[in-house]
Structure 1
Amino acid sequence: MPLPESPRTICILRLSALGDVCNLVPAVRAIQRRHPQASITWVIGKAEYLLLQGLEGVEFIVYDKASGVKGLLELRRSLNERCFDVLLLMQVALRASALSLAIRARTRLGFDRKRAKDFQWLVTNHHIPESANGHVLDGFLDFARMLGARDLSLRWNIPIPPEEREKAQLLVPENTPYIVLSPCSTQRTRNFRNWSAQGYAEVIRHIAQQYGIATILTGGRTSTELQYGEQISLLTPDTTVNAIGGTSLKTLLALIGGAVAVIAPDSGPMHMATAMGTPAIGLYAGSNPLRTGPYLSQQWVVNRYPHAVRTYMGTSEDKLRWGQRVRHPHVMDIIKPIDVIEKFDTLMLTVKQNQ
């Protein structure tokens, strides 16, 4: 069965994570430009919906990832009368493959055989072309290409309600430029992406002393993130605002939009910064930023992934599977404060030269 030339109904299945759904939005925009008559339905996770809620031209169906079989049956019932022209299965995970069976679609487009893990190959009937060594965002754009999109310019336009902008403004020190620093990545098993509180504090002190720029700490309400906030606050000047656990995702997006830069490990705020056009200084050692780094800020990334591969795996990155992570508890120790400071200083010099 060939791909439809003018699909009227399109369903996207991508539940998580925050960074990935940010990277997917440009593909949605490209599809909307190519098929303005099509209705787009997106099956998405709860937290991810809170970030993208109100996205123009998209109907969201929220799936609770903790709901298991019950949630799958509820999704099937909610979509019982609908059959989409195209399903875009844009997540490689066993849960997503199983969940896709609750969605009726004539055309089921998934990843190429090399990337179609967790049985995705069995639940799709069309596949994007194989692509070596690409960024996650480029992989999503391949879905838009398969639907005939040619204008692949990067656009996000994620809406932020006025009240969320007002909440963000209340956190900003008066008449003071600021950076957003989100110190922690998602807590998962063997997910060694967090840098040290002491390292962050040294960078924050430098930025305050050299540029008079304040720092707003952001993050979730987990015990790890709250502890980071307390430790960094004790080690940094009065220009640090600890907002960890105190913002919604829309408020965070507004904060990022007004920031001089974002500093964070491999995590959602990196890609939220890209969406808002804010420079992102990513701290990468265990994961390859060429695959998962901030798409428009690769020049500002502290990339110690090649060093980590040599140190902890005894090989070179070209010998590894693309995107393979270095899972060692001390991998982020390779990054030193001076590495981050030098990137920030270069960014500030570049901004000054372009003014």
Structure 2
Amino acid sequence: MKHPLPTRPTHIGVLRLSALGDVCNLVPTVRALQRQWPEARITWIIGKGEYSLLAGLSGVEFIVYDKSTGLAGMRALWRQLADTRFDVLLHMQQALRASVLSLGLKADVRVGFDKDRAKDRQYWFTHRQIDPRPRAHVLESFMDFARLLGVEDTSLHWDLPIPDQAYEEARRYTGDARYMLISPCANPRLRNFRNWSAEGYAAVVEHVFVQYGLKTVMTGGGSTQEREMGQRIKALCQPEAVIDAIGATSLKGLLALIDRAQVVVGPDSGPVHMANAVNTPVVGLYATTNPDRAAPYLWRKQVVNRYPQAVKDFLHEDPETINWGRRVRHPEAMSLICAEDVIDHLDGLLNEAHSDALPTSTDQESEFPDEA
């Protein structure tokens, strides 16, 4: 017998610790739950870095778990929530660490992913699973949790809070200039292979500077890999074309920079989804990750998509039948993207003659397609 779902929950728990792009994709689900049950209390258990991005999100109580604290941190969180019981816990993290963390939380019913989408046997830790949806985008997968609870209004809203001090931080680098923002590097993890070439970025930077008078702000973390990439790009460009902010901003400051940018360019990583969340045009660079699953949702048509070719060339498989979400872990995959591909998309966004390519919504609202 299935565990019954609450018809009018008073306290909803959300368990999603990481990553930056994923928590951005989850916010519309939280907004949908708030519209359906405006009086419900929503508690989101989230990672430390992700909290610094979403802090101040209206109507949400955050409980921060720092994964570096391990089991001791879990026990501290369990003690913190010892007197809390959720009507429903939305277990939205497909990782064993999160499933173990969920064991110490009290909930009448625990909802997780269906078996095809659940990783690390997540369904062992839940009472109910969302309905199967083959070949779903990450954002749609999150919204399926709201649908299971009976939410009908699945329009997309973010309304991410950006404090004045974050805009002040952004203006210290840009003043009132118009600019493009690039975030050249994805998270520097082992066998990630999502990064494009310095030569490709430099060609794009030069193009927008010469054709549109736009400077380029480079952003990213402070890792050696990211700083070295920034230095290589700068060396290939006119000095006045580039503003180097790599490793120099807070996450809120980065969000403010993205919000004020004319367009954002980057690989599958947090900043392209942050741009999506604040409705800044974005050109995503995808070859190692399937954009049908993980592209910036509102800007999917602007993705430079070389994933199908990478699947054929490096995995020797059919992109139509390959396992959904399979990554191409090959160091040459991103070289399939040419600067001309990126420039074509940028011209379509930046030329006044192509202004109808931009979404007309000013409140970041969209509906899921009927077939989603």
SS of the residue 1:316 aligns to: coil
Asked if 2 retains the 8 angstrom alpha-carbon contact of 1:40 and 1:58, the reply is: yes
Question: SS of the counterpart of 1:319?
Answer: coil
Q: How does 1:113-262 map to 2 (within 5 A)?
A: 113-174=115-176, 176-237=177-238, 238-262=240-264
The amino acid that maps onto 2:191 is R
In the TM superposition, residue 349 of structure 1 has moved relative to its aligned partner by 2.9
1:234-276: CA deviation from partner (whole Å, max 9, x where unpaired): 2212121000001111111111111111000000011101111
Q: Is the 8 A contact 1:97 1:119 kept in 2?
A: no
Structure 1 segment 1-355 matched on structure 2, within 5 A: 1-174=3-176, 176-237=177-238, 238-349=240-351, 352-354=354-356
The residue type paired with residue 198 of structure 1 is E
Contact 1:173 1:214 in 2 (8 A): no
Counterpart residue identity of residue 306, structure 2: R
Structure 1 length-normalised TM: 0.97
Alignment deviations for residues 176-222 of structure 1 (CA, whole Å, 9 cap, x no partner): 32011000001112111001111101110011011111100000111
1:351 to 1:189, Cα distance in 2 relative to 1, 3 A: farther
Q: 1:351 to 1:187 in 2, by over 3 A?
A: farther
In the TM superposition, residue 68 of structure 1 has moved relative to its aligned partner by 1.1
The secondary structure found in structure 2 opposite 1:32 is helix
Percent of aligned positions that are identical: 52
Deviations for 1:14-44, whole angstroms, at most 9, x for unmatched residues?
0000000000000000000001111000010
3-state secondary structure, aligned to 1:6: coil
Distance 2:213 2:195 in 1: 26
The separation in 2 between residues aligned to 1:193 and 1:255, in whole angstroms, is: 22
Pick which of 342-351 and 282-291 moved more: 342-351
Number of residues paired by the alignment? Answer: 354
**Structure 1: which 5+ runs fail to align?**
none
Structure 1 residues 74, 16: closer, same or farther in 2, change over 3 A? same
1:173 positional shift: 4.7
* Contact map agreement 2:348 2:354 (CA 8 A) in 1: no
Match of residue 367 from structure 2: none
**CA distances 1:87-142 after superposition (whole Å, capped 9, x unpaired):** 00001011111111111101100000111221211110011000011100000001
What is the alpha-carbon distance in structure 1 between the residues aligned to residue 325 and residue 334 of structure 2?
Answer: 17
Which 10-residue stretch deviates more, 286-295 or 67-76? Answer: 67-76
| Structure 1 residue 353, shift from structure 2 partner | 4.2
Q: CA RMSD in A?
A: 1.2
Which string of whole-angstrom CA distances, capped at 9 and with x for unpartnered residues, describes residues 308-341 of structure 1? Answer: 0110011211121111011101111111111111
C-alpha separation in 1, matches of 2:355 and 2:254: 28
Q: TM-score, normalised by structure 2?
A: 0.93
User: CA offsets per residue over residues 254-309 of structure 1, 9 Å max, x none?
Assistant: 11111111000000011101111011100000111110010011111100000101
| Structure 2: stretches of 5+ with no match in the other structure | 359-372
Q: Secondary structure at the match of 1:33?
A: helix
Give the Cα separation in 2 of the matches to 1:306 and 1:30: 33
Secondary structure at the aligned position of 1:41 is classed as strand
Q: Which residue type is aligned with residue 179 of structure 2?
A: Y
Deviation, 1:231, is 1.4
Task: Assess if the C-alpha contact under 8 Å between 2:183 and 2:265 holds in 1.
Answer: yes
Confirm or deny: 8 A CA contact 2:205 2:241 kept in the other structure. no
Q: Deviations over 1:62-95 (max 9, x none)?
A: 0001111111111111111111111000010111
| SS of the residue 2:320 aligns to | helix
User: For 1:66, what is the secondary structure of its paired residue?
Assistant: helix
